[in-house]
Amino acid sequence: MIIRKATKNDMPSVLELIQELATFEKEPDAVVVTVADLIRDGFSENPLFQCFVAEVDGDPSQSEQAKQIIGMALYYYRYSTWKGKTIHLEDLIVKENKRGTGAGFALYKEIIKQGKAENVRRIEWNVLDWNTPAIDFYEKSGAKVLGDWRVVHMDDKGIERFLIED
């Protein structure tokens, strides 16, 4: 297995992983992003995200490609008024049938190495409160799961409603 930066050609596999994560998180119909969106947003002159993929040798008799992407970690840089440059890990996912292979740990470690290389003062991400295996893993790795902060977001419908009512 190798961990490497994603390329445009990896985006169909990345989208499959995003859809698998949405299903795992009980939101199978929530993904609206497309391969074209991922290519545009991740590989333009000013990319909105970066991505690492975990790649293994595949079975050449099963497809024309001898390599298979089994996991990904998608992240982007943010700026904290308290800390300065930070990384936000948006998603880290490994195919269900490839969990336990070390791919998730390798991707997690690569994100942390990236943060160190970029001199960020914080790496942050969200975890669902019912995902206790992930929470346990993060806490054992030295991360702090903050119980006193709430994630707030406004979706496209909320944005539209707000602007109409304003």
Active site residues: 138
Residues 6+ apart with CB under 8 A from 122: 80, 83, 86, 87
3-state SS class at 52? strand
Within 10 angstroms of residue 64's Cβ, the number of other Cβ atoms is 6
3-state SS class at 120? coil
Q: Are 83 and 124 in contact (CB under 8 A)?
A: no
Q: Give the phi and the psi of residue 97 in degrees, each rounded to 5.
A: -75, 0
Which runs of consecutive H residues, i.e. helices, occur in 43-125? 103-117
